[in-house]
């Protein structure tokens, strides 16, 4: 029987470490080859050992930014012959990433993965994890079929993920592909477990800082925009479901809350869960924005970077029609944010002083 290999990029990231065991459960004849940068091999090997997947998960040193993924010619050919599915999650997710790094990893790396997919004679699916934020600064409603609409972008992360999705879209006529566009991923909806406290967790840092100073909790701006948080367990369930259903081939799916609460509602719920009180007052967004540009207010907001706060005041809604229809057939739905704020805050409080959960320093 011919080998069945799943090539996986983005291990040992938080999503990858949870996703791979489920993919192996789904395809009992498959082995996952996790392509890992040489500097991450030791960590990846340790995480793989903790997963208990044995020889069904193999760590392969490589580099998505290099031709042939940094593999020898013989390793490349052997892997291409055996691979039946590709899960491409590796990317630079830093909102303040320099353009050159973002282009090399997010764009050139994705092109190299596409080239590998073309070399796979038995490929059944390319599962590509994009982001809802390829929509950039678009407002109103963004459909799943939308991509280019003349938009500009908030940062190089968004612009390079957009450019990468352009490449993936261009390959879909010849490569069976599903594109997944998550919103801002937070911890597990049941346990609150996450890998690091960035993104929406900066709001909890703001609350934590105010409580520590015994001062009123401030709200940075009106925060009237829908806040597109999504728990990691839903994202994982959606990808596993899509990978196992041929009807998902050729689809682009928004993995976001179909009925998102506003950023201010989420913040108020966090305040209640963490400090048992509401925000005392709102600071005008213009004042917050200008002050953060000059680094005058960051201490008041618990170290929150300007790049993250911009998302709290961006008026956009991501349509989920196809995701809701296709995932609904399998009983997979996104839980409302109101149901997992409690676990999210509880996990944060338990680990708020643990440096292992701090985002990487710039």
Per-residue pLDDT reduced to its tens digit, 208-252: 999 999 999 999 889 999 998 999 999 999 999 999 999 999 999
Beta bridge partners of 36: 61
In this predicted structure, the answer to whether residue 360 has a pLDDT above a threshold of 60 is no
Domain assignments of the chain as residue spans, ordered by start: 4-183+230-255, 186-228+260-315+336-357
The residues, any chain, with a CB within 8 Å of residue 276's CB and separated by 6 or more, are none
**Pick from 159-163, 268-272, 353-357: least confident:** 353-357
Largest interatomic CA distance in the chain: 67
For residue 174, the surrounding DSSP H or E stretch is: none
Strands 57-61 and 83-88: unpaired
In this predicted structure, the answer to whether residue 139 has a pLDDT above a threshold of 50 is yes
CA–CA dist 125, 58 (Å, integer): 20
Exposure letters 246-266 (e unless 16+ CB within 10 A, then b): eebbebbbbbbbeebbebbbb
Look at residue 292 in the predicted model and tell me its pLDDT.
73
Average pLDDT, the chain: 94
Q: Using the 8-state DSSP alphabet, how is residue 39 labeled?
A: G
Exposure letters 117-126 (e unless 16+ CB within 10 A, then b): beebeebbbb
Residue that wins the pLDDT comparison between 311 and 350? 350
* Position 362 confidence tier, pLDDT thresholds 50, 70, 90: very low
C-alpha triplet 115, 120, 123: angle, nearest 5°: 115
- Contact predicate 51/21, CB 8 Å: yes
Give the dihedral sign, CA 48/31/105/18: negative
For residue 57, the surrounding DSSP H or E stretch is: strand 57-61
pTM of the model: 0.95
Look at residue 302 in the predicted model and tell me its pLDDT.
72
Look at residue 201 in the predicted model and tell me its pLDDT.
94
Average pLDDT rounded to a whole number, residues 37-66: 96
CATH no. for 4-183+230-255: 3.40.50.720
- Contact predicate 254/181, CB 8 Å: yes
Look at residue 361 in the predicted model and tell me its pLDDT.
45
CA–CA dist 306, 144 (Å, integer): 28
Per-residue pLDDT reduced to its tens digit, 271-295: 999 999 999 989 887 887 777 776 6
Average pLDDT rounded to a whole number, residues 78-90: 98
**Pick from 62-71, 100-109, 286-295: least confident:** 286-295
* 3-class secondary structure, 246: helix
- Contact predicate 154/331, CB 8 Å: no
């Amino acid at each position: 029987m011919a080998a069945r290999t799943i090539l996986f990029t983005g291990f040992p990231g938080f999503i990858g470490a949870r996703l791979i065991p489920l993919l192996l459960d789904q395809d009992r004849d498959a082995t996952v080859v996790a392509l890992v940068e040489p500097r991450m091999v030791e960590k990846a090997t340790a995480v793989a050992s903790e997963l208990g997947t044995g020889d069904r998960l193999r760590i392969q040193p490589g580099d998505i930014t290099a031709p042939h993924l940094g593999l020898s010619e013989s390793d490349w050919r052997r892997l291409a012959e055996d691979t039946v599915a590709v899960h491409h999650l590796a990317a630079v997710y830093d909102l303040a990433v320099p353009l050159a790094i973002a282009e090399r990893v997010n764009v050139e790396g994705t092109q190299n993965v596409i080239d590998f997919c073309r070399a796979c004679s038995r490929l059944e699916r390319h599962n590509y994890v994009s982001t809802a934020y390829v929509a950039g600064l678009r407002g109103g409603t963004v459909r799943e079929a939308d991509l280019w609409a003349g938009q500009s972008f908030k940062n190089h992360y968004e612009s390079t993920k957009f450019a990468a999705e352009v490449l993936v879209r261009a390959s879909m006529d010849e490569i069976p592909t599903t594109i997944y566009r998550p919103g801002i991923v937070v911890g597990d909806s049941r346990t609150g477990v996450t890998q690091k406290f960035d993104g929406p967790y900066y709001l909890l840092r703001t609350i934590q800082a105010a409580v520590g100073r015994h001062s009123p909790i401030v709200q940075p701006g009106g925060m009237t925009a829908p806040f597109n948080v999504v728990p990691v367990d839903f994202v994982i369930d959606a990808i596993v479901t899509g990978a196992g259903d041929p009807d998902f081939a050729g689809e682009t799916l928004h993995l976001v809350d179909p009925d998102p609460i506003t950023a201010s509602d989420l913040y108020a719920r966090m305040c209640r869960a963490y400090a048992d009180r509401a925000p005392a007052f709102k600071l005008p967004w213009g004042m917050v924005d200008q002050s953060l540009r000059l680094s005058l207010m960051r201490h008041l907001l618990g170290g929150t970077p300007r790049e993250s706060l911009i998302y709290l005041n961006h008026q956009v809604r991501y349509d989920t029609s196809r995701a809701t229809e296709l995932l609904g057939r399998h009983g997979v739905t996104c839980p409302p944010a109101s149901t997992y704020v409690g676990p999210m805050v509880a996990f944060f409080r338990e680990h708020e002083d643990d440096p292992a959960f701090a985002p990487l320093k710039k």
